[in-house]
Amino acid sequence: MSLDVSLQTDPGVIATDPVEEARRQVEICNACRYCEGFCAVFPAITRDKVFADGDITQFANLCHNCRGCYYACQYTAPHEFELNLPRALASARAESWERLAWPGGLARLFQSRGDALAAALIAGFALLFAVIAALPGEGEGFYAYLGHGAMVAIFAPAFLLPLAALGVSLRRYWREVGGGRLALPDWREALLAAGRMRNLNGGQGQGCNFEKAERFSDARRHVHQAVLYGFLLCFASTSSGTVLHYLFGMEAPYGVFSLPKLLGVPGGILLVVGCAGMLALKAKADPALGTPGRSSGERAFIWLLGFVGLSGLLLYAVRGTGLTGPLLALHLGSVLTFFLLTPYSKMAHGFYRMTALLREAQDKRERAGG
């Protein structure tokens, strides 16, 4: 029985490399364990004594930046151990997304720079205005501005290619963290954890410490739920439209009581409210506990997502008026940008998070001998 203690770091030597620094802090936590009840990260840490790079990547993606462990920690600066686990894991997390992105390089740009994201959005707008101007419409509603065929030609690849790129990244992730074969209970466990944002509830439902420092609050969990479910509803709305179109030959525009509208309108509202809430909470939260150097990219992404929702709602509100054309270009331009940047913007976090939750469920099950 031996242990590779050469992986161990010196707790007193603060590292500049994100993975190395996260490892240093994780080792201190493993010797302490006081935060065990806050989230899934600590129980995962205690399953080992030393940590390879892949372990750090996994912990980093499991952490939801609830910040409970920062305010509870007796080793935060000015203590010489300078614990700030939320930040250390956030750093390692952002680093992992940028390292695993395919093709590489793009993620670094859009994760860190809001202006790059804004430029991409403007390009998206311009493209859609140009396309709408150049191509003839065919049909009713917004198809009068951009035909169905053209829409599919643009959005099918814009949706599928980024997903393929993400798939490559997630495979790399899975290999790096040593993932194996998944079982059905792993999916159930991970989906429940994600669906309820369990890792933001403070371990006992009291909430997290995102925007109120030592006080617990459920605000972040609630706005994040609004964004998540708003997004999923919007996505379901679009999917239902596709199904109606192809399977039932029912073409847009759809009425108020049609599936796409029943899903899409509440979805859009949730998305907009959630994004606004998220931005407000971010403004209150201590930036020293977030991801260093990425806040501009993070904020820009929330604006983009909120704009997708808002422009969608407006598009519906102005139907039949002369504003439909320009709004359609704005909405579709933002959707296009959003799709294309999925693997390279903060949007990627949802996919990595889900993968990390799956890996956690699997690891827990396997070690329990299940």
Partner 1 sequence: MSEADAATLTGEVWDVVVVGGGNAALCAAIEAAETGARVLILEGAPRDYRGGNSRHTRNFRCMHHGALGPLVETYDEEEFWADLLRVTKGETDEALARHAIRTSETCLPWMQAHGVRFQKSLSGTLSLDRTNAFFLGGGKALVNAYYLTAGDLGVTVAYEATVRHVGIEGARATHVEVDYQGERLTVQGRALVLAAGGFQSDLDWLARAWGPAAKNFLIRGTPYNRGVVLKDMLDHGAETVGDPTQCHAVAIDGRAPKYDGGIVTRLDCVPFSIVVNKDGQRFYDEGEDVWPKRYAIWGRLVAAQPDQVGYSIIDARSIDLFMPSVYPPVTADTIPALAEKLGLPVEAVEQTVATFNAACRAGEFHPQQLDGLATEGLDPPKTNWARPIAEPPFYAYALRPGVTFTYLGLKVDQTARATGPEGPYDNIWSAGEMMAGSILGQGYLAGFGMTIGTVFGRIAGQEAAAHVA
Structure tokens at 241: 């439209």
Could you say whether residue 71 binds partner 1 (CB under 8 A)?
A: yes
Q: How many residues bind partner 1 (CB under 8 A)?
A: 43
Choosing from 14, 15, 20, 43, the residue that interacts with partner 1 (CB under 8 A) is 43
How far apart are the C-alpha atoms of 173 and 280, rounded to whole Å?
Answer: 32
Contacting ligand SF4 within 16-75 (CB under 6 A): 28-29, 32-35, 38-39, 41, 63-69, 72-75
Could you say whether residue 284 binds partner 1 (CB under 8 A)?
A: no
Q: Which residues are registered as beta bridge partners of 208?
A: 217
Amino acid identity at 8: Q
Cβ at position 11, least distance to ligand SF4 in Å: 10
Residue closer to partner 1, measured from CB, 82 or 251:
82
Taking residues 81 to 120 in sequence order and writing x for each that binds ligand SF4 by CB under 6 A, - otherwise, the string is --x-xx--x-------------------------------
Residue closer to partner 1, measured from CB, 165 or 289:
289
Could you say whether residue 288 binds ligand SF4 (CB under 6 A)?
A: no
Residue 8 binding: pick among ligand SF4, partner 1, none (C-beta 5-8 Å cut-off by kind): partner 1
Q: How many residues bind ligand SF4 (CB under 6 A)?
A: 25
Contacting partner 1 within 10-29 (CB under 8 A): 10-12, 27-28
Residues 69/23, Cβ–Cβ less than 8 Å: no
Choosing from 6, 248, 255, 321, the residue that interacts with partner 1 (CB under 8 A) is 6
Length of the chain, please?
A: 370
Could you say whether residue 184 binds partner 1 (CB under 8 A)?
A: no
Residue 214 binding: pick among partner 1, ligand SF4, none (C-beta 5-8 Å cut-off by kind): partner 1
Cβ at position 38, least distance to ligand SF4 in Å: 4
Could you say whether residue 68 binds partner 1 (CB under 8 A)?
A: yes
Could you say whether residue 369 binds partner 1 (CB under 8 A)?
A: no
219-224, long-range: CB < 8 A, 24+ apart: 219/277, 219/281, 220/66, 220/278, 220/281, 221/197, 222/277, 223/273, 223/274, 223/277, 223/278, 223/281, 224/197, 224/200, 224/274, 224/278
Could you say whether residue 178 binds partner 1 (CB under 8 A)?
A: no
Helices 18-32 & 85-100 angle (0-180, nearest 10) = 140
Choosing from 206, 242, 319, 367, the residue that interacts with partner 1 (CB under 8 A) is 206
Residue 39 binding: pick among partner 1, ligand SF4, none (C-beta 5-8 Å cut-off by kind): ligand SF4
Cβ at position 187, least distance to partner 1 in Å: 26
Cβ at position 362, least distance to partner 1 in Å: 19
Choosing from 115, 138, 140, 214, the residue that interacts with partner 1 (CB under 8 A) is 214
Q: CB under 8 Å to 9, separation ≥6 — which residues?
A: 15, 20, 23, 24, 27
How far apart are the C-alpha atoms of 83 and 202, rounded to whole Å?
Answer: 19
Backbone φ and ψ of 217, nearest 5°: -155, 145
- The footprint of partner 1 (CB under 8 A) covers 1-3, 5-6, 8-12, 27-28, 30-38, 43, 46, 49-50, 68-69, 71-81, 203-204, 206, 214-215
- The footprint of ligand SF4 (CB under 6 A) covers 28-29, 32-35, 38-39, 41, 63-69, 72-75, 83, 85-86, 89, 199
